[in-house]
Structure 1
């Protein structure tokens, strides 16, 4: 599975993203619209972590979605 599936099914994945990263608002999720780079940026912003950490966290989350 590649990230395109997440983008294409964003409405379904939004709930799972919100479970993992509860500090993201519904407005954040609507703005992200499935785009991975925007998700990384919002996670960095909300949680105060570096880009590499956000990327790893997303990779781990994504791996559990398979």
Structure 2
């Protein structure tokens, strides 16, 4: 995901981010404003030891939103 793609999905993404990773505050989200570099800084600040996990979730979220409708790979219950 590049910076432009991230910025374009920000409004949709920030709600999911806060739901999944509750340490992010409304102020954090306001400061990030769709800037991927700012997100990286806030991830480090809030989740230092889990940074890789948060960024992996971010990439997976983006991939899910980019799939054509009806093609949700890996979304079947186990």
> Does the pair score TM above 0.5?
yes
Which residue is 1:21 aligned to?
A: 21
Call closer, same or farther: CA 1:30–1:5 in 2, change over 3 Å: same
4+ runs deviating over 6 angstroms = none
Which residue is 1:34 aligned to?
A: 34
Q: CA separation in 2, counterparts of 1:7 and 1:39?
A: 11
**Is it true that 1:62 corresponds to 2:43 in the alignment?**
no
Stretches of structure 2 that go unaligned for 5 or more consecutive residues are: 67-78
Q: CA separation in 1, counterparts of 2:48 and 2:10?
A: 24
Stretches of structure 1 that go unaligned for 5 or more consecutive residues are: none
What is the TM-score normalised by the length of structure 1? 0.68
Q: CA separation in 1, counterparts of 2:28 and 2:4?
A: 19
* Aligned-residue CA RMSD (Å): 2.4
